[in-house]
């Protein structure tokens, strides 16, 4: 069979000079998505990727069919009680998006049975996202907020993937649209208690949410601008804004944060013209979160302890000097959040690398108002646990979400007084799924500097470390984001093909506390990459993966990790998938007009003004460090409308790889696949997402020689 020739991007060098160093960039011209030649090049790359993988169509179909056959397509979430209503979301077979609905709630009555996924008696559909998104190439919801009086809904949608949303406000009693004039907003929208006013965020030219506006509902002109009032503007380009509401609905909450510093404001949700009140002015390097708890505030902060403590303050507090100690984190712990209910507080934390929940009980005999209770205990050694959607304050039981690599996502109702537990919903896995047919393990791998890196490994039961198995390794390792255990129906298609699936919890993430993050950022960023390479080599050396059968995958900042790792150790991997990869990091972080720049300087450093940071980033940025060596087969995937990591980064990277590496394109191809109507998260809708996963995994599995299920026949066409 004659293989098609890959596209060859024209080289039009542009010189970038900083701190006495010049870099000649031959592919920067690919940045302009409005240039027909750029679009033509992306189309040619897509055509090449399709032609080069055409033989994998039966494998793709097999994986897609496996995912679909294991998924209960008509299904529903657990109903969440709020006032006179039960709120929930239903999915219908054949539908890509959810149907948001509610049904009447009788005091003392049972929670509605949604196990069939079908409508219940007296159901009111609030938003049929499936109907609204039907026929669109892309569809996403950015806000969904019901007023505290349950009469008004505000929702926003994005139909291009650029994460700019248009708002719609609906009267839930009549079903009529009250306002659809507020457009081009950022994430989130919150209504005042009576639904008369809506708060939204606005973004600047660098996509940074930098303003909070409020609009009297129904009074906007064609673009909504003339009727709005600016509530808060953040001038410091390191900070982003977000909005929410307190659990008791009394306050609109505004949070501002950089990578290392935060500040919070409260606005009276009963007063449509109230001004915002600062809880405590920002202090450089101090992060804090706020929970409204009746007549006081609960505050998780790192002012005195990098892994955070819990404090309380009067509700009227406007300075950190009012904060009073309540609970300190112990060695090996990191406090991450707090939720207050009438008689209990639930503290979210990390302990020994995993998530955990700790209870505090109401005690009016002490100044703080609470005393330490107990930790919620779960059986599996490796798991993820967190609070679910709990809309009401006055409750003795809460919804908790639990899952592991083997246990599907489960919603439990836990009585905080007695610890009595009821499983309300466990994501169904159709077919013959048996959790005992798989095993999850925790490994520890020594990094080059001697630090022990935790690794999660999932295999089929009976798999032994005999050096013969294909492997799939993934990681993220930035922004203190933790890659916690989660259940995945699509992952079963890898495991059932004999693949050993591993997650490297590398430094730069938050798995092991704040210091774990700090050891993988700024001038310590290379630890993220060397940790990953050490894990890859350990999987082979220990026999869990064959030497020539290891795949690696990562997205966004995890794509930077993939690009850096293959430059460091191209021989360690047979194939890699880099999804929306941040592989031209230095070019981006040098340009303050781009979204991933000024706000990112606290994550990566400021190479524009600091020559040492420039040299350090230049030493690892993937695009500028490609070697003339044999590399793994490479699949880079991106989206034309991605506003976080521009499509140009993987496009330039692929062009430079083809021009530099010593790969035989027949054996180790380098592919670029661009979604022409999508954003940072790829294609929207569950069926399109399954198709995308099947396409990507078929390429990876083909390179690993693992396209056929273990013990199975040929893939189904």
3-state secondary structure (DSSP) of residue 397: strand
Q: Taking Cα atoms as reference points, which of 543, 473, 537 lies closest to residue 505?
A: 473
Instruction: Give Cα 702 to chain centroid, integer Å.
Output: 28
CA 187 – CA 203 distance, rounded (Å)? 9
Q: Which residues pair with 125 in a beta bridge?
A: 101
- Give me the torsion for CA of 710, 711, 712, 713, rounded to 10°: 110
Find out whether 301 and 319 touch, Cβ atoms under 8 Å: no
**Residue 539 CB-half CA count within 13 A:** 37
Sequence-distant (≥ 6) Cβ neighbours of residue 507 within 8 angstroms = 447, 451, 453, 477, 516, 517, 519, 520, 524, 527, 528, 531
192: left (phi over 0), alpha (psi -120 to 50) or beta: beta
Torsion sign over Cα 204, 208, 211, 217: positive
Token match 């559909």: residue? 125
Sequence-distant (≥ 6) Cβ neighbours of residue 73 within 8 angstroms = 91, 92, 93, 94
Kindly name the residue from 210, 505, 577, 680 that is annotated as catalytic: 680
Hey, what are 110's tokens? 């049972």
Instruction: Give Cα 78 to chain centroid, integer Å.
Output: 22
Kindly name the residue from 456, 478, 553, 556 that is annotated as catalytic: 556
353 CB neighbour count, 10 Å cutoff: 19
Residue 639 has φ and ψ, to the nearest 5°, of: -135, 135
Sequence-distant (≥ 6) Cβ neighbours of residue 704 within 8 angstroms = 470, 471, 499, 549, 551, 574, 575
Q: Taking Cα atoms as reference points, which of 507, 501, 563, 500 lies closest to residue 534?
A: 507
Instruction: Give Cα 391 to chain centroid, integer Å.
Output: 22
CA 426 – CA 438 distance, rounded (Å)? 18
Longest dimension (CA), the chain: 82
Find out whether 650 and 636 touch, Cβ atoms under 8 Å: yes
Hey, what are 618's tokens? 């230049």
Token match 């972080």: residue? 589
Is 556 labeled as catalytic in the residue annotation?
yes
Hey, what are 675's tokens? 């979604």
Kindly name the residue from 25, 309, 579, 642 that is annotated as catalytic: 642
Catalytic amino acids? 556, 642, 680
């Amino acid at each position: 069979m004659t293989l098609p020739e890959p596209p060859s991007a024209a080289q039009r060098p542009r010189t970038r000079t900083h701190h006495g160093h010049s870099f000649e960039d031959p592919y920067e011209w690919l940045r302009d998505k409005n240039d027909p030649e750029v679009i033509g090049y992306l189309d040619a790359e897509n055509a090449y990727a399709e032609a080069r993988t055409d033989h994998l169509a039966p494998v793709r179909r097999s994986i897609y069919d496996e995912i679909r056959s294991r998924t209960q397509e008509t299904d529903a979430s657990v109903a969440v009680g709020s006032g006179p209503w039960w709120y929930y979301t239903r999915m219908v077979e054949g539908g890509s998006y959810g149907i948001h609905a509610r049904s009447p709630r009788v005091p003392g009555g049972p929670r509605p049975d949604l196990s069939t996924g079908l409508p219940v008696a007296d159901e009111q559909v609030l938003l049929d996202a499936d109907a609204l998104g039907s026929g669109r190439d892309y569809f996403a919801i950015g806000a969904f907020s019901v007023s505290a009086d349950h009469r008004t809904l505000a929702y926003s949608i994005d139909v291009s993937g650029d994460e700019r949303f248009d708002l719609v406000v609906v009267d839930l009693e009549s079903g009529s649209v009250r306002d659809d004039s507020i457009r081009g907003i950022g994430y989130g929208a919150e209504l005042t208690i009576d639904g008369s006013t809506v708060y939204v965020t606005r973004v600047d030219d660098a996509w940074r949410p930098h303003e909070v506006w409020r609009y009297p509902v129904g009074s906007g002109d064609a673009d909504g601008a003339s009727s709005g009032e600016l509530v808060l503007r953040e001038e410091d380009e390191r900070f982003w804004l977000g909005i929410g509401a307190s659990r008791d609905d009394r306050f609109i909450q505004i949070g501002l944060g950089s990578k290392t510093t935060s500040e919070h404001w409260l606005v009276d949700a009963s007063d449509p013209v109230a001004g915002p009140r600062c809880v405590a002015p920002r202090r450089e390097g101090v992060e804090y979160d706020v929970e409204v708890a009746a007549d006081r505030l609960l505050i998780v902060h790192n002012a005195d302890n990098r892994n955070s403590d819990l404090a309380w303050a009067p509700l009227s507090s406007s300075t950190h000097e009012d904060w009073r100690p309540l609970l300190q984190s112990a060695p090996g712990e990191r406090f991450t959040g707090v939720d207050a209910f009438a008689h209990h507080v639930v503290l979210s934390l990390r302990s020994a690398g995993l998530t955990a929940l700790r209870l505090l009980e109401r005690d009016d005999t002490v100044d703080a108002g609470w005393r330490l209770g107990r930790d919620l205990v779960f059986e599996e050694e490796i798991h993820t646990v967190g609070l679910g959607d709990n809309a009401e304050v006055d409750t003795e039981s809460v919804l908790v979400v639990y899952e592991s690599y083997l246990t599907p996502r489960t919603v439990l109702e836990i009585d905080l007084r007695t610890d009595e537990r009821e499983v309300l919903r466990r994501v169904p896995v159709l077919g013959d799924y048996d959790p005992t047919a798989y095993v999850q393990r925790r490994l520890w791998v020594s990094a080059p500097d001697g630090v022990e890196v935790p690794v999660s490994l999932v295999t089929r039961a009976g798999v032994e470390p005999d050096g013969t198995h294909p492997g799939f390794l993934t990681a993220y390792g930035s922004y203190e984001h933790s890659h916690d255990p989660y259940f995945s129906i699509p992952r079963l298609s890898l495991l059932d093909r004999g693949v050993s699936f591993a997650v490297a919890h590398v430094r730069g993430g938050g798995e092991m506390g704040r210091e774990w993050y700090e050891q993988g950022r700024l001038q310590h960023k290379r630890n993220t990459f060397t940790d990953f390479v050490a894990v890859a080599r350990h999987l082979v050396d220990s026999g869990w993966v064959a030497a020539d059968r290891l795949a690696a995958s990562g997205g966004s900042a995890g794509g930077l990790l993939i690009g850096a790792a293959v430059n460091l150790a191209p021989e360690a991997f047979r194939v890699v998938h880099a999804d929306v990869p941040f592989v031209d990091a230095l070019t981006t972080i040098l340009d303050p007009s781009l979204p991933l720049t000024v706000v990112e300087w606290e994550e990566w450093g400021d190479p524009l003004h600091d020559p040492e940071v420039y040299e350090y980033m230049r030493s690892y940025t993937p695009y500028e460090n490609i070697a003339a060596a044999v590399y793994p087969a490479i699949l880079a995937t991106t989206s034309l409308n991605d506003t976080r990591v521009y499509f140009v980064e993987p496009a330039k990277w692929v062009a430079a790889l083809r021009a530099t590496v010593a790969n035989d394109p027949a054996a180790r191809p380098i592919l670029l696949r661009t979604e022409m109507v999508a954003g940072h998260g790829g294609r929207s809708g569950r069926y399109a997402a399954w198709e995308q996963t099947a396409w990507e995994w078929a390429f990876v599995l083909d390179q690993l020689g693992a396209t056929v299920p273990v013990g199975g026949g040929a893939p189904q066409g």
